[in-house]
């Protein structure tokens, strides 16, 4: 279904009317905003399927599926035996939602976030931070109608069916149709992406309205800066910017770029920052280097007690 068809379909019929045309009836009809009934997507004996009249969305606490009328129509029309969904974007969206739910249920992941200084629930919600506990993603997505082959091709599971990002905080990258995992176990690898390009600068849609931006390496750095009020922060998802990211920084009117890469003990982050500064200068973009204490990244600096006012001073003292 095209975007135009989706919009037209959504505007011509309410979610509740669509359900009733397909034989669904709420267990009670009391005129309230939310009604409940048996789920039309799976077998159950106790009602767990809720429809919100005002928001035009549904959610089933039994099969954990939810969305709007287009999503419901797709599931109902593909509910015939043997029919599976292989659309990558929708598959990833289902994985994003699942991981978000697991963060709430995983004390060890929430402790790790607090240790890294990320405590603002608004930032966690905006970034859709989740957690991959392992051993349950495949079963959940299978119940949503996705095949193991589709999960494998997307990179969500390995050949043995194991969650590739198990033990990681997860950060959705919907524009790149990807997902980033950050291990909470210091004894294992730290970073992992799904296969494919990393896309543009994370957070660019918000930051591009500012006259100056702050470029950092990682997503926890962005979370820390957003939490401190620096909403012009974006993440390069590494220390090397790809052509798409460089093009974003060169868009529109004159823009000042503060480069705040990790201050690594071996100097690698500092060298990458200087290299980026030279590349931006070649594009006639003003670039300033933010000088963090050695051994710090932005998230670690805030977690150690750095204040927003102190960071503002670092921005003001930044030099080419």
| Final residue belonging to a domain, choices 48, 77, 106 | 77
What is the token pair recorded at 23?
């034989």
Domain with 234 in it: what CATH number?
Answer: 3.40.1360.10
| Final residue belonging to a domain, choices 138, 170, 193 | 193
The neighbour count for residue 216, using CB atoms within 10 Å, is 28
Any domain includes 83 = no
Spatial separation of the C-alpha atoms in residues 75 and 77, rounded to whole Å? 5
Residue-by-residue pLDDT tens, the chain, 320 positions: 444 344 444 456 888 888 887 778 888 766 678 899 888 876 667 788 889 988 888 888 877 778 888 878 877 765 444 444 458 888 999 999 999 999 999 999 999 999 999 999 999 999 999 999 988 899 999 888 888 888 998 999 988 888 999 999 999 998 888 999 999 987 666 788 888 888 899 999 989 999 999 999 999 999 999 999 999 999 999 999 999 999 999 987 788 999 999 999 998 989 999 999 999 999 999 999 999 999 999 999 999 999 999 999 999 999 99
Any domain includes 198 = no
Query: What's this model's pTM, rounded to 2 decimal places?
Result: 0.73
Same domain, 212 and 181: no
Spatial separation of the C-alpha atoms in residues 306 and 297, rounded to whole Å? 11
Any domain includes 220 = yes
Q: What pLDDT was estimated at residue 61?
A: 80
| Final residue belonging to a domain, choices 193, 214, 247 | 193
Spatial separation of the C-alpha atoms in residues 283 and 86, rounded to whole Å? 42
| Nearest one of 215, 183, 184 to 202, comparing CA atoms | 215
Spatial separation of the C-alpha atoms in residues 240 and 269, rounded to whole Å? 10
Spatial separation of the C-alpha atoms in residues 180 and 195, rounded to whole Å? 10
Contact 230, 307 (CB under 8 A): no
Same domain, 142 and 51: no
When divided into structural domains, the chain yields a total of 3
Helix ranges (DSSP H) in the chain: 3-12, 15-21, 69-77, 88-104, 107-115, 121-127, 137-143, 148-154, 204-207, 219-227, 243-249, 268-282, 298-303, 308-316
32 Cβ neighbours under 8 A, 6+ residues apart: none
Q: What pLDDT was estimated at residue 8?
A: 45
Q: What pLDDT was estimated at residue 19?
A: 85
Q: What pLDDT was estimated at residue 190?
A: 77
Same domain, 222 and 294: yes
Same domain, 182 and 211: no
Any domain includes 199 = no
Same domain, 155 and 65: no
Phi, psi of 278 (to 5 degrees): -65, -40
**Residue 41 structural domain:** 3-77
Contact 146, 85 (CB under 8 A): yes
């Amino acid at each position: 279904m095209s975007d135009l068809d989706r919009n037209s379909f959504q505007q011509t019929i309410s979610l509740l009317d669509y359900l009733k045309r397909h034989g669904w009836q709420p267990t009670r009809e009391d005129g309230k905003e939310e009604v409940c009934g048996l789920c039309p997507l799976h077998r159950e004996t106790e009602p767990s399927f809720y429809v919100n009249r005002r928001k035009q969305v549904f959610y089933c606490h039994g099969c954990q599926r939810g969305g709007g009328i287009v999503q419901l129509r797709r599931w109902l029309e593909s509910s015939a035996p043997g029919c599976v969904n292989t659309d990558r974007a929708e598959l990833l969206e289902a994985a994003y939602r699942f991981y978000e739910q697991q963060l709430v249920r995983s004390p060890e992941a929430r402790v790790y976030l607090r240790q890294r200084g990320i405590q603002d629930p608004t930032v966690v919600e905006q970034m859709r931070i989740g957690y991959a506990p392992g051993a349950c993603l495949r079963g959940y997505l299978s119940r949503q109608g996705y095949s193991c082959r589709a999960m494998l091709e997307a990179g969500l599971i390995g050949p043995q069916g194991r969650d590739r990002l198990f033990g990681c905080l997860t950060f959705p990258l919907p524009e790149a149709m990807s997902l980033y995992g950050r291990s909470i176990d210091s004894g294992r690898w730290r970073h992992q992406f799904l296969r494919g390009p990393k896309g543009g600068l994370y957070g660019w849609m918000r930051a591009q309205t500012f006259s100056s931006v702050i470029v950092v390496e990682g997503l926890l750095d962005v979370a820390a800066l957003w939490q401190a009020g620096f909403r012009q922060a974006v993440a390069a998802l590494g220390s090397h910017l790809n052509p798409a990211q460089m093009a974003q920084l060169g868009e529109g009117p004159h823009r000042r770029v503060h480069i705040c890469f990790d201050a690594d003990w071996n100097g690698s982050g500092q060298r990458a920052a200087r290299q980026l500064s030279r590349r931006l200068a070649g594009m006639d973009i003003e670039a300033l280097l933010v000088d963090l204490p050695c051994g710090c990244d932005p998230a670690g600096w805030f977690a150690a007690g750095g204040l927003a006012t102190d960071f503002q001073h670092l921005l003001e003292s930044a030099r080419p």
